[in-house]
Structure 1
Amino acid sequence: MDNGSTVQLFDYDVFNANLDQLDTNSKTLINTINLYSYAMAERDSHFKDALLESDVLLPDGVSIVIASKILANKKIKKIAGADLHKFLLTKLNNEGGKCFYLGSSETTLKKIIERISKEYPSVKVGVYSPPFSSQFNATENADIINAINSFKPDVLFIGMTAPKQEKWAYMHKDQIDAKIIGSVGAVFDFYAGTVKRPSSLWIDLGLEWMGRLVKEPKRLWKRYLYYGPIFFYILFKEKLKRSLKIDGAL
């Protein structure tokens, strides 16, 4: 990854700059990393490859911010998928660009189109609601790629949840005719209003994860209450290993 400055956390080069420093003139695959995706990638090598091969890997979670401070002694700013989404829409609106939404239901996509027409009237929007399946077959993939490339978007937003969206983007990046490919997951529902994002108070306090857990406990409990302790166990284990290595060298 050479798109702006980065900080190395575990095996990953995590973005550590402002979004306006992104190179948006060449094909760029943007993913996010948080405690859930990190823990999942440790058990799924294909997912890990997809994250490692990101051109930009955004620190989407207070856990990653904490890890940066503990392991690299660097203060980084959390950048959520919603932040990337807003930044790119603003840029496209200023330039009269085009974006394409891949994922979610027809109803959600319709709400996204309606909202963009009001907030970003200069942006042209294309959408595609793929089949709800764990993996697309060859025909389905061909139909999806054809729909995207026929529209020729400047930005492709993918919202199919992790790790499906990252794997798909990684596998098909070279076939996609778009400059920016961003896996933004829950942003589709947040922007459409079908799922309410926690308020700015939760976000500013670094507790957005708690706000989401309160709203969707059945879906998200495992992400935070199971994978959370696993992540911090790995984090402090890595910190201890590094400390022992330094002490042994003295």
Structure 2
Amino acid sequence: MKRLPHTFLGIHVDALSIPELNSLIAQSIEQGKKWIIAHHNLHSLYLYHHDSKMQALYAKADYVHIDGMALVLLGKLLGFPLKREQRVTYADWVWSVMAEAAQKRWRVFYLGSKPGVAERGAKILRKKFPGLQIATAHGYINTQKGSQENLATLAAINDYQPHILMVGMGMPRQEYWILDNLEHIHTNTILPCGACMDYVAGAIPTPPRWMGKMGLEWFYRLLSEPKRLWRRYLLEPWFIAGLFLREILNA
């Protein structure tokens, strides 16, 4: 699939739907490629403009899908032909990825979440998708490149030989880890996936899917975890509003 990115608010994003993203995973596996499929939402947009290491990760990403209805709406206001189905969040995508992985015998490794949470989520997925091959490791490790925990984690991943590596440590920790360890990871598709397995396992309540389609998922998350997310949803958007106004004025 040829990459046709849209550029606005200082970032590049690819307008991709769930079937198109699944097709990219299949392509990376069939061709023996190692691709990072990253994503952007308002939080990552804020981090990108304040963090050179995040910029370095996105520079290495082969595709960057949109995870946030607000980005779709801002892009449309700036004249880009974006559609609702091109906003893909893991709360929706994970089920489709796992269904395809079970059908095509792809091995999945999930790194992230608190101890016990990832494996609880994996059990739910194995029950829902018989034949699914998925291994897990929690993300509460010393992520320094030379630490014993990090080296052991890399060894576990590479011994499993996954086709898909999902890294759910939250931003920017998951992106840092991928960037620091990229040359030592043996897999095809690398997916930084945030709290994906926490939602599957029920450790964090999943927002009603209609709220996602309406662009209100952020409000549900803010009410669910106000202490952790108040800055992300109440302060960071003001910086992004400034980016948007500057782009409008310079158009």
Q: Gaps spanning 5+ residues in structure 1: where?
A: 243-250
Superposed, 1:115-154 pairs within 5 Å as 115-132=124-141, 135-139=143-147, 140-154=149-163
The structure 2 residue matched to 1:177, chosen from 180, 186, 190, is 186
Counterpart Cα distance in 1 of 2:139 and 2:220? 29
Identity %: 25
Match of 1:239 in 2: 248
Residue 44 (structure 1) aligned with residue 32 (structure 2) = no
Q: 1:5 to 1:18 in 2, by over 3 A?
A: farther
For residues 83 and 16 of structure 1, the distance between their equivalents in structure 2, rounded to whole angstroms, comes to 16
Question: Which residue of structure 1 aligns with residue 19 of structure 2?
Answer: 20
- For the 8 Å contact 1:85–1:184, the answer to whether it is kept is no
The AA in structure 1 aligned to 2:4 is: S
Match of 2:62 in 1: 55
How many residue pairs get aligned? The number is: 240
Deviation of 1:155 (Å) = 0.7
Query: 1:83 corresponds to which residue?
Result: 92
Any conservation in 1 of the 2:5–2:14 contact (CA below 8 Å)?
Answer: yes
Give the deviation of 1:39 after TM superposition.
0.8
Give how far 1:186 is off. 1.2
Cα offsets for 1:19-54 (capped at 9, x unmatched): 333422222101111111111121111112212321
Deviations along 1:73-127, whole A, 9 cap, x unmatched?
3223211133332232111011122111101122202211210121111111111
Name the counterpart of 1:220. Answer: 229
Query: Residue 64 in 1 paired to residue 71 in 2?
Result: yes
Residues 183-219 of structure 1 deviation map (CA, whole Å, 9 limit, x = unaligned): 1111121011111111122112111111111111111
Q: In structure 1, how many angstroms separate the alpha carbons of the residues matched to 2:79 and 2:99? A: 32
Contact 2:111/2:139 (<8 A) preserved: yes
Instruction: Supply the RMSD in Å over aligned alpha carbons.
Output: 1.8
Distance 1:23-1:34 versus aligned 2 partners, 3 A rule = same
Amino acid at match of 2:196: V
Q: Work out the CA distance in 2 between the residues paired with 1:52 and 1:75.
A: 22
* TM-score under structure 2 length normalisation: 0.89
For structure 2, the 5+ residue unaligned runs are none
Is 2:9 the partner of 1:7? no
Contact preservation (8 Å) 1:62, 1:206: yes
Structure 1 residue 165 corresponds to structure 2 residue 174 = yes
- AA of the residue aligned to 2:80: N
- Structure 1 runs (4+) greater than 3 angstroms displaced: 2-5, 130-133
Amino acid paired to 1:23: L
Secondary structure of the 2:24 match is coil
Q: 1:28 to 1:82 in 2, by over 3 A?
A: farther
Aligned partner of 1:247 in structure 2 is none
Greater CA deviation, 9-18 or 95-104? 9-18
Question: Given that residues 97 and 122 in structure 1 are in contact (C-alpha distance below 8 angstroms), is that contact kept between their aligned partners in structure 2?
Answer: no
Q: Secondary structure at the match of 1:138?
A: coil
Query: Is the 8 Å Cα contact of residues 70 and 239 (structure 1) preserved in structure 2?
Result: no
Shift of 1:170: 2.3
Asked whether the 8 Å contact 1:39–1:230 carries over to 2, the reply is yes
- Residue 3 of structure 1: CA displacement? 5.2
Q: Distance in 1 between matches of 2:68 and 2:231?
A: 16
